[in-house]
Chains A and B, each alone.
Chain A
Amino acid sequence: MHVVYPAVVSALLFSIGVYGVLARRNTILVLMSVELMLNAVNLNLVAFDVWLRDRLHGGQVLTLFVIVIAAAEVGLGLAIILALYRNRRTVDLDRLRALAEPGASGPGDASGPDDDSGDGPAPDTSSAGAPRPGSLASGTSPVTVPGADAGAPGRDGTTPGTVTP
């Protein structure tokens, strides 16, 4: 087996993954493209392990490690995506531009990037921004009972989004 064949296949897979990461908008598709890139690396590792006849099987063992890390990364990434979807109602990367929480006490710059994005986070800013000044103003003590029995509008305002579907 010429080493060029797996190396070229892996290079093509890697660049396809680069295209997917850059061009896709849905976050799950970006995760898929990252998986493609990791698989390209795996193919390289296996091919060079076979070529160099590593006595310690470093390439194949490292391939197994990369597979495990990819599994952990996908699990954690999907958890983050689900938390994001719960808060913002969208997983489009183009719309996730706000660096601050919507409705935070910033001087108006937090809602600035959200305005051009249309219907994505716009209801979230209104729903999450409403209980926050009230709870902060009424609750002088940090443990507020009306915050707990009213579904606890937490630090990121998840409950106004989660009860709607």
Chain B
Amino acid sequence: MTEAVPSYLSPTGQEIVFLLLGVLAVGSALLVVTTRQLVHAALWLVVCFGALAGCYLVLTAEFVAWVQVLIYVGAVVVLLLFGIMLTRAPIGRAADLDSGNRVAAAVVALATAAVLVTVVVDGFHAAYAPLEPGRGSAGELGSSIFRTWVLPFEALSVLLLAALIGAIVISRTDIRGRE
């Protein structure tokens, strides 16, 4: 953190790979929020999450990268596709995917991006994180979770169970309130 910061003009190979993956992630995220076809949005979301998993790999967080692939690409996007299918969304080009306040949304998003990027660049332009492999392996993370973070882990498992039971109860039609 206090060592000399290498120049921005001579990026390392890891930085180049990370920037390419970041451009891929940001571009596919833009396509997610601007495409006219609902299913394509879900598929671009797969590309975005995959690129983010690559970013995690470059940042030496291997276990998080594989969990990202497993849960986001494997489960969440499939769940979203099921949702698209079950709500009988229009397959193909739909004109009414955007609401009427696109301009206001774009203004707010551009303002958010400007503020965040300005603050982040101003605050962290001298920060440099040397990458050393092995710090995000499954063994390290597992021992950290089950030594230090056991209580949040268990609480989160109960939360996940409650959320899934709630989802089942909400989506079943033969369970109704007493009346």
Q: Report the bound CA distance from A16 to B19 in whole Å.
A: 17
Stretch of A70-78, A99-107, A108-116, A123-131 with 4 or more beta carbons under 8 angstroms from chain B: A70-78
- Nearest residue (CB) in A for B136 is A60
B171 lies within 8 A of A79 (CB): yes
Interface of B toward A, CB cutoff 8 Å: 1, 5-6, 8, 12, 14-15, 18-19, 22, 25-26, 29-30, 32-33, 38, 41-42, 45, 48-49, 52, 55-56, 58-61, 63-64, 67-68, 71-72, 75-76, 79-80, 82-84, 86-89, 96-102, 104-106, 108-110, 112-113, 116-117, 120-121, 124-125, 127-131, 135-136, 140-141, 144-145, 148-149, 152-153, 156, 159-160, 163-164, 166-168, 170-171, 173, 176-177, 179
A29 lies within 8 A of B129 (CB): no
A18 lies within 8 A of B109 (CB): yes
A20 in contact (CB, < 8 A): yes
Q: Report the bound CA distance from A15 to B112 in whole Å.
A: 6
B48 lies within 8 A of A36 (CB): yes
Q: Give how many A residues have a beta carbon under 8 Å from the other chain's beta carbons.
A: 77
* A 5-36 to B, binary, CB cutoff 8 A, 1 in contact else 0: 11111011111111110111110110111011
Q: Which residues from A are CB-within-8-Å of B6?
A: 2
| Contact (A61, B145) CB under 8 Å given A50-B61, A78-B80 | yes
A15 lies within 8 A of B109 (CB): yes
A150 in contact (CB, < 8 A): no
Distance (Å) between the CB of A100 and the closest chain B CB?
Answer: 17
A28 lies within 8 A of B100 (CB): no
6 contacts between A and B (CB under 8 A): A1-B129, A29-B97, A36-B48, A51-B1, A69-B156, A76-B166
A97 in contact (CB, < 8 A): no
Q: Which residues from A are CB-within-8-Å of B84?
A: 28
A4 in contact (CB, < 8 A): yes
Q: Which of A1, A15, A49, A65 contacts B15 (CB 8 A)?
A: A1
Q: Report the bound CA distance from A53 to B2 in whole Å.
A: 13
- Nearest residue (CB) in B for A72 is B163
